[in-house]
């Protein structure tokens, strides 16, 4: 009996070590793929807000702002906004690229903002569609406005066009502001100045994600790309031209 128990414990120990090695390797690989931008001005009138391993962005319009995503943690976002001397009450609109927790965590901080998200993303937050690993997504508001592909919203001097770019999630949406500034969330990444595929582990449908690239690769006036986890490119044309997203 003692030998059986000993062998069982040894087997369990080996199994746990192997699991730890696999998880550790995954974490190391994941960290290598993440390049968040430090909190600050990243382009005229555009601010990056760093929240651990993810970025959200703000665009200034006169004395107000619009936001793209809401970060991972409300307290961390609040602290970073203090660094920028930006009052979250001045954010009048918040566009969600998708509904994963690390992009909606600070949502309740922006109490004066109208929240926008893709119509195709709504099933994830109404428990009609489960994300990977069998979980539903949640957002901290029941009041939001749904957008269709190519729908445009005018907010002050800013024209925001939603471009449906599914794959990472079924309703992932990129947002093109004034035809120049493209916010893609996790729909795509940027690496060494070129657009790349989204992270495979967290992406629902990579084939669809690759097809979505066709929708954002020919924007004639676009200048910059802003991602959730892999930084930015201020050279849209070369980022598209040098893309290896099909590889």
Kindly report, residue by residue over 117-149, the tens digit of the pLDDT: 999 999 999 988 878 766 778 888 889 999 999
Mean pLDDT for all residues in the chain: 87
Tell whether the model's pLDDT for residue 212 goes beyond 70: yes
> Is residue 24 domain-resident?
no
Domain that holds residue 78: 35-241
Read off the tokens for 203.
């992406």
> Is residue 11 domain-resident?
no
pLDDT at residue 3, rounded to an integer: 57
CATH number for the domain that contains residue 56: 3.60.15.10
> Is residue 29 domain-resident?
no
Distance CA 1, CA 232 (A): 61
Q: How many CB atoms lie within 10 A of CB 35?
A: 16
Tell whether the model's pLDDT for residue 176 goes beyond 50: yes
Q: What is the pTM of this model?
A: 0.86
Of 11 and 131, the structure prediction assigns the larger pLDDT to 131
Instruction: Determine the average pLDDT of the residues in 13-41.
Output: 52
Of 30 and 95, the structure prediction assigns the larger pLDDT to 95
Residues whose CB falls within 8 Å of the CB of residue 99, separated by 6 or more in sequence, listed in order:
117, 121, 124, 125, 137, 138, 139, 169, 171
pLDDT at residue 26, rounded to an integer: 32
The number of domains in the chain is: 1
> Is residue 22 domain-resident?
no
> Is residue 1 domain-resident?
no
> Is residue 134 domain-resident?
yes
pLDDT band at 6 (very low <50, low <70, confident <90, very high): low
Tell whether the model's pLDDT for residue 80 goes beyond 60: yes
> Is residue 247 domain-resident?
no
Distance CA 108, CA 80 (A): 15
- Residue 21's Cβ-side half-sphere holds a number of Cα atoms within 13 Å equal to 6
Residues in the chain: 247
Nearest to 245 by CA among 220, 214, 222, 204: 214
Of 220 and 22, the structure prediction assigns the larger pLDDT to 220
> Is residue 10 domain-resident?
no
């Amino acid at each position: 009996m003692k030998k059986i128990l000993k062998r069982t414990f040894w087997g369990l120990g080996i199994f746990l070590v192997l699991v730890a090695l696999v998880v550790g390797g995954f974490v190391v690989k994941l960290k290598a793929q993440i390049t968040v931008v430090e909190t600050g001005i990243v382009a005229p009138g555009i601010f990056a807000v760093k929240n651990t391993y993810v970025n959200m962005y703000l665009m200034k319009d006169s004395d107000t702002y619009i936001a793209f995503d809401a970060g991972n943690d409300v307290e961390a976002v609040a602290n970073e906004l203090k660094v920028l001397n930006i009052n979250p009450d001045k954010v009048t609109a918040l566009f969600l690229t998708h509904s994963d927790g690390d992009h909606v965590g600070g949502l309740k901080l922006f109490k004066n903002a109208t929240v926008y998200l893709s119509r195709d993303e709504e099933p994830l937050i109404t428990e009609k569609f489960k994300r990977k690993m069998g979980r539903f997504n949640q957002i901290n508001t029941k009041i939001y406005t749904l957008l269709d592909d190519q729908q445009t919203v005018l907010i002050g001097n800013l024209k925001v066009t939603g471009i449906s770019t599914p794959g990472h999630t079924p309703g992932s949406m990129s947002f093109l502001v004034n035809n120049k500034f493209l916010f893609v969330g996790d729909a795509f990444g940027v690496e060494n100045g070129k657009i790349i595929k989204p992270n495979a582990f967290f992406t629902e449908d990579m084939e669809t994600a690759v097809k979505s690239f066709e929708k954002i690769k020919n924007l004639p006036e676009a200048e910059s790309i802003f991602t959730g986890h892999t930084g930015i490119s201020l050279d849209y044309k070369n980022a598209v031209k040098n893309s290896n997203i099909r590889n």
